[in-house]
Structure 1
């Protein structure tokens, strides 16, 4: 069981504080687990989890428990994990994402407690298949995630009905070797132009690409240098929505801090970067990174900022980000 108590003080009417920052006395995790050993032969196992839980699936770019923001993402339903002795792994989920409450600015600023909402008007299900392809730690993943969303009488939505297909090939960082992480998502389905009940329903065709190459040295502080590139489609003019939706994916580990600073995310972005990571002690790590920021489509809003020039005359360069962290 995990009980979260996330609060904020000193905010005013113009504060960006929201339910992403405040979630008072919330039982985010309360579930039952069962494990079976050797169901598929030696070194195999199966796990079943039912109830309220947090989730971190695959690369965490679609479904994650945010470990940086003041609150986290919670889900209610079931998860099953199957592992074969040859390294093959299957994860399957069928959950409803918990909607953090309260949502009104006045209640959030007052740190008002209200149980998070569990409703079948939002549904998330799918799975990830992972298998090793070399003895050097290289593996491949295939992802299929469905998200369905409908209006409730008191909560209008964009009626998203999205299927996201993913393919990933990666090699985890280890001292003395090169590593890489390449993942591509194709997103198809429908959504509404806005949350109004009369809003036009549109087809969705969007995509996201992540590419990263790195090397970690066998040396004190375990330095690792990597270059990376993120591209997420923006919404072009036309009847089809081409803006990528990262659903419940994390952003801090790769792109930008979450929470109040959540200006950069996986939508309408083209961003190369470079990063140096260090581990001075077993309990301390640090990194410094730079990335350039461009719009994938200059007529759509940049990333998560809401800043948009429909004429496109402002160009596609959005700026630069210098990011550093020391964690003890």
Structure 2
């Protein structure tokens, strides 16, 4: 019997994902913003039905399953945004979904995942392996394990955002995108955008101390987050290491990564609310934070991804009330 080669994500797959996403969802806005005298564009993925870009990869992955696979259901691991994307897609397709989530995930993310009809199984992120728990559940149920970033369909689905960006820029007569600054956890969105826009510079941004992708790019090999990584409000970006599948794309297309501080993230949350009327969660703000801090180059062909808005309202209010630095 011939061994089946593992599937790898491709630009053709991104284009197919974009067609599938466009059939069920309107494009998210591409908003102009001036930073230090330079206009950039903000892709407001925080305005997706689940409040984050994760709906793209989840839909492309689950809609590709056979009828038999759909009957068996889906299992996923997430701190909240991928959880909601998978739960939303599963509900629309009439599938059962089980999501393994950290017990200390933001309550709003836990609640909304359950509201979408998924079964939530919590775990201790510091003492338990979420992958082992999810894989055991998938094996018991015979369900498909939909990885948050190390899945070719998920990568392609996330890249569909860049196809929208290209169409939106062309519609207003703007030049094609030359640089995309992107919030990065495991690298699913970053890899998808890199596949979608081979002519553009793609710059991943991570929280300080959780910049494993940036360090991996610098080292030329996958590096893990240190055991003593600092606490961060960017729960959506607390990935311990990227995967070989993602890194194979990233090392070819992303020359470097950037990192931002917690204070810079809060500055960006306040600015997005004041000037764009957008509510952004910390992890969905790091790309904008890098631009505001002068770390990411900005010009008229730069697009900044605003990837998620699932923030606890009390936490967000505290950020808004705090004095700018």
Q: Same fold (TM over 0.5)?
A: no
Give the alignment's TM-score, normalised by structure 2.
0.29
Rg (Cα) greater in structure: 1
RCO (CA 8 Å, sep 6+): is it higher in 1 or 2? 2
Larger proportion of strand: 1
Larger proportion of helix: 2
